[in-house]
């Protein structure tokens, strides 16, 4: 079994965003997480490359990603009060895109921390 070793990986599970994690992966799953705390270790080890679900769903039915993006765009453009919500465990670049999307569709933005 060949292991892929990634040095200085970033953990985005909590707000600390540790960026000195060393990951060892066997092609399907991460098998070792050096310097991650127990939360980070659990987070990394429970994200696998296994294909467990369809690429996308539309109204609960499997769909292509392109069709799902089209459907999502239709929902957002036709929404009265669109809410862009979530953004935990995503990068700063993705957060910027979420803010741009909210501005584009005249929506509001919120994160899970408002709970």
State the residues that interact with ligand SF4 by CB under 6 A: 11, 13-14, 16-18, 36-37, 39-40
Closest CA to 9 of 1, 20, 17: 20
Residue 105 CB, nearest distance to ligand SF4 (Å)?
A: 31
Q: Which is closer to ligand SF4, CB of 29 or CB of 64?
A: 29
Q: Which is closer to ligand SF4, CB of 64 or CB of 89?
A: 89
Residue 85 CB, nearest distance to ligand SF4 (Å)?
A: 22
Q: Which is closer to ligand SF4, CB of 40 or CB of 82?
A: 40
Q: Which is closer to ligand SF4, CB of 17 or CB of 94?
A: 17
Q: Whole-angstrom Cα distance, residue 81 to residue 98?
A: 15
Residue 37 CB, nearest distance to ligand SF4 (Å)?
A: 3
Q: Whole-angstrom Cα distance, residue 85 to residue 70?
A: 19
Q: Residues 6 or more apart from 62 whose CB is under 8 A from it? A: 54, 55, 56
Q: Whole-angstrom Cα distance, residue 84 to residue 109?
A: 5
DSSP state of 76: H
């Amino acid at each position: 079994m060949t292991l892929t070793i990634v040095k200085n990986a970033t953990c985005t599970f909590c707000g600390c965003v540790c960026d000195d994690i060393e990951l060892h992966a066997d092609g399907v799953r991460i098998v070792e997480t050096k310097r991650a705390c127990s939360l980070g270790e659990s987070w990394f080890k429970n994200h696998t490359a296994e294909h467990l679900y369809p690429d996308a769903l539309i109204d609960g039915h499997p769909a292509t990603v392109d069709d799902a993006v089209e459907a999502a765009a239709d929902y957002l453009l036709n929404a009265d009060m669109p809410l862009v919500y979530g953004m935990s465990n995503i990068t700063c670049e993705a957060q910027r895109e979420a803010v741009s999307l909210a501005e584009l569709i005249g929506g509001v933005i919120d994160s899970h921390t408002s709970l």
